[in-house]
Amino acid sequence: MSDPRQVVVIGAGVAGLTSALTVLTNSSVPVNVTVLEAESTVGGRIRTTPFAGLSAVDEGADAFLVRVPWATQLASELGLGSSMTSPTDAHASIWHNGMHNIPGDLMLGVPAKIRAFATSGLISPVGKLRAAIEPLLPATADTDSIGDYVRSRFGNQIHERLVDPLIGSIYATDSDHFSMAAVPQVAALTASRSMLFAAGKARAAAAKGPAGPIFATPIRGIGALIELLTQRVTSLGGRILTGESVSAIEKEPTGYTVSTSRGQHQADAIVIASPAKHSAHFVRTLDTRAGELLNEWTHASVVLITMAIPASQWPSRLTGSGYLVPKPDQRWVSAASFGSNKWAHWRPDDGSMILRVSLGRDGLEVMHFDNDKLINLALADMKLHLGVDMTPSEVRVSRWAESFPQYRPHHFARLAELEHSLGASAPGIVFAGASYRGIGIPACVQQARSAAEATLAHLATL
Ligand SMILES: Cc1cc2nc3c(=O)[nH]c(=O)nc-3n(C[C@H](O)[C@H](O)[C@H](O)COP(=O)(O)OP(=O)(O)OC[C@H]3O[C@@H](n4cnc5c(N)ncnc54)[C@H](O)[C@@H]3O)c2cc1C
């Protein structure tokens, strides 16, 4: 029998751990899998911890999309199928000189019907007139900037008060500088001349599909995915080594040597599941151009503050799931989630409201503030938005430095060049994770599955 093949996975976020699990599960040849993680804990951008008497409140991601299969399938594979839950039907709002319900009939903020904006106080009469002529406008010139495209179709107000808040809150981005192609739901609406008509058709088609919740999460929080992935990888013989920051990859006559802060590992194949910019320095040793391209990636930082607000301070009129703040209205807070309204299982016994408040995004830096300052900024912004003074009984500050990769216009052309360059100079090395083909958990899982299949295909050629 031949010696086991050696696979190294760099990064123990959801993409790295799922890559490791898939290689271990599907390999038809003996294989050793080693996951190298720079931090002292696994999970990367996913963390769930106790808060305000609740056993599990997410510090980052709190749900994943279920209209695409990958995360749901992973949760089932890990045995979480029966312990999943979905958000309540509390509505979300946008704050612009007051709260406005997010209208129905939108596709990620793009109007699918004229009534989506005609009856909303969010858009001024002039803004409504401008948006209403969209179907009459000639085709828009080719552009990969979401902002350029949507502004030219519907005018500035629809872009700034609907599309940008909805897309911006997912990617922590300024969608004037974000790739249209990287948001496939919106990119699909540019195939026809009128975005409004295309969105109308897309919504009608979606309405014919299966009904049901759009998001789901394990009752124990998204961290349960990481916990179970870790257990499964380990039980299949995989090794997960924390505190091992990869500093270089050298090509050998056969395979690669991966150097870390603690030593060296031999590899026949490597999955790079660490953020693009962090990977630049160790990829540069293999392929200068690939290193340069990775180094050009930008990643936005955010801070997420979780607060418990005593029941006596929470106004009963605030029954929604939370609100987004359009960029022109933002001071520091970009969104606030009324967690105990959004999730039935986040209701402490004393009736407190669990709030999750997001500060910062691409172009709005907040990481230089200390925690006290951040908490004060969040409370001052919420006083402006909600009209109430709140004194939290408990506060937790989660800093997510460089956590949201920014897909600049023409992202996929850069990615193609990166993969082509590295594919030619370093066969058997593949990328997976949020920096590349989608930042949501389902997209990270999907990329991990593909990376693992490519890895197995490479091993079969050795
Ligand atoms: C605040 C917040 C809220 C979010 N909300 C949602 C949500 O509700 N739903 C959703 O679907 N998605 C959400 N996301 C996005 C999603 O959580 C992430 O995109 C996803 O978890 C990224 O997974 P990943 O494995 O690609 O990368 P990461 O989680 O970033 O993991 C990469 C790992 O690589 C490690 N690493 C870096 N450099 C090295 C090195 N040199 N050597 C070894 N290891 C290294 C890092 O330490 C890290 O652990 C959210 C993200 C954040 C930050």
User: How remote is the C-alpha of 178 from its chain's centroid?
Assistant: 14
Six-digit token string for 352: 């407190």
For 5-45+219-286+426-461, the fitting CATH number among 3.40.50.11890, 3.50.50.60, 3.30.465.10, 3.30.450.20 is 3.50.50.60
Token match 């016994």: residue? 349
Mean pLDDT, residues 338-347 taken together = 97
Mean pLDDT, residues 430-444 taken together = 98
Taking CB atoms and a 6 Å cutoff, what residues make up the pocket around ligand 1? Answer: 10-16, 36-39, 44-46, 60-64, 245-246, 273-275, 278, 302, 304, 400, 403, 433-434, 439-441, 444
Enumerate residues 6+ apart whose C-beta is below 8 A from 94.
Answer: 100, 102, 122, 161, 162, 165, 323, 324, 325, 326
Q: What is the pLDDT, as a whole number, of residue 210? A: 77
Distance from the CA of 44 to the center of ligand 1, in angstroms? 5
Q: Ligand 1 atom 10: the closest Cα is on which residue?
A: 440
Q: What is the pLDDT, as a whole number, of residue 432? A: 98
Mean pLDDT of the chain: 96
Q: Are strands 239-241 and 31-36 parallel, antiparallel or unpaired?
A: parallel
Using the atom order of ligand 1, give the atom closest to the CA of residue 71. 11
Question: What is the C-alpha to C-alpha distance for residues 321 and 289, in angstroms, rounded to an integer?
Answer: 45
Question: What is the C-alpha to C-alpha distance for residues 246 and 320, in angstroms, rounded to an integer?
Answer: 44
Q: What is the pLDDT, as a whole number, of residue 1? A: 53
Q: Ligand 1 atom 37: the closest Cα is on which residue?
A: 274
**Identity of the amino acid at 430:** V
Question: What is the C-alpha to C-alpha distance for residues 75 and 78, in angstroms, rounded to an integer?
Answer: 5
User: What percent of the chain has pLDDT above 90?
Assistant: 96
Distance from the CA of 225 to the center of ligand 1, in angstroms? 13
Q: Domain 101-208: which CATH class?
A: mainly alpha
Enumerate residues 6+ apart whose C-beta is below 8 A from 302.
Answer: 172, 334, 358, 359, 360, 361, 366, 400, 403, 404
Provide the 10 A C-beta neighbour count for residue 2. Answer: 7
Residues 259-282 pLDDT 10s: 999 999 999 999 999 999 999 999
Distance from the CA of 378 to the center of ligand 1, in angstroms? 24
Distance from the CA of 119 to the center of ligand 1, in angstroms? 39
Using the atom order of ligand 1, give the atom closest to the CA of residue 245. 42
Distance from the CA of 315 to the center of ligand 1, in angstroms? 35
Question: What is the C-alpha to C-alpha distance for residues 145 and 167, in angstroms, rounded to an integer?
Answer: 12
Strand, coil or helix: what is 373? helix
Using the atom order of ligand 1, give the atom closest to the CA of residue 400. 53
Residues 222-255 pLDDT 10s: 999 999 999 999 999 999 999 999 999 999 999 9
Confirm if 190 and 32 have CB atoms less than 8 A apart: no
Distance from the CA of 390 to the center of ligand 1, in angstroms? 31
pLDDT of 367 over the 80 cut? yes
| Region class of 246: left (phi > 0), else alpha (psi between -120 and 50), else beta | beta
Torsion of CA 402, 403, 408, 410, to 10 degrees: 120
pLDDT of 2 over the 80 cut? no
Distance from the CA of 433 to the center of ligand 1, in angstroms? 8
Q: How far apart are the first and last CA of the chain?
A: 15
Residues 30-86 pLDDT 10s: 999 999 999 999 999 999 999 999 999 999 999 999 989 999 999 999 999 889 999
Residues 400-422 pLDDT 10s: 999 999 999 999 999 999 999 99
Enumerate residues 6+ apart whose C-beta is below 8 A from 213.
Answer: 66, 86, 87
Q: Which of 274, 295, 445 to mutate to test the pocket of ligand 1 (most atoms within 8 A of CB)?
A: 274
Residues 86-140 pLDDT 10s: 999 999 999 999 999 999 999 999 999 999 999 999 999 999 999 999 999 999 9
Considering only CA atoms, which of 144, 105, 69 is closest in space to residue 440? 69
Using the atom order of ligand 1, give the atom closest to the CA of residue 444. 26
Confidence band for 423, pLDDT divided at 50, 70 and 90: very high
Considering only CA atoms, which of 162, 183, 60, 149 is closest in space to residue 111? 162
pLDDT of 324 over the 80 cut? yes
Distance from the CA of 443 to the center of ligand 1, in angstroms? 12
What residue segments make up the domains of the chain, in order of their start?
5-45+219-286+426-461, 48-64+299-406, 101-208
Enumerate residues 6+ apart whose C-beta is below 8 A from 49.
Answer: 56, 57, 59, 223, 396
Q: Which residues of 310-343 are buried (b: 16+ CB within 10 A; e: fewer)?
A: beeebeeebebbbbbbbbebbebbbbbbbbbbbb
Question: What is the C-alpha to C-alpha distance for residues 196 and 61, in angstroms, rounded to an integer?
Answer: 31
Q: Domain 48-64+299-406: which CATH class?
A: alpha beta
Phi then psi dihedrals of residue 274, to 5 deg: -100, 155
Using the atom order of ligand 1, give the atom closest to the CA of residue 440. 11
Question: What is the C-alpha to C-alpha distance for residues 284 and 64, in angstroms, rounded to an integer?
Answer: 34
Confirm if 327 and 169 have CB atoms less than 8 A apart: no
Q: Which of 17, 18, 40, 45 to mutate to test the pocket of ligand 1 (most atoms within 8 A of CB)?
A: 45
Question: What is the C-alpha to C-alpha distance for residues 140 and 137, in angstroms, rounded to an integer?
Answer: 8
Using the atom order of ligand 1, give the atom closest to the CA of residue 247. 41
Q: Are strands 92-95 and 64-65 parallel, antiparallel or unpaired?
A: unpaired
Q: What is the pLDDT, as a whole number, of residue 46? A: 98
Q: What is the pLDDT, as a whole number, of residue 208? A: 85
Enumerate residues 6+ apart whose C-beta is below 8 A from 126.
Answer: none
Q: Ligand 1 atom 5: the closest Cα is on which residue?
A: 61
Distance from the CA of 9 to the center of ligand 1, in angstroms? 15
Distance from the CA of 406 to the center of ligand 1, in angstroms? 13
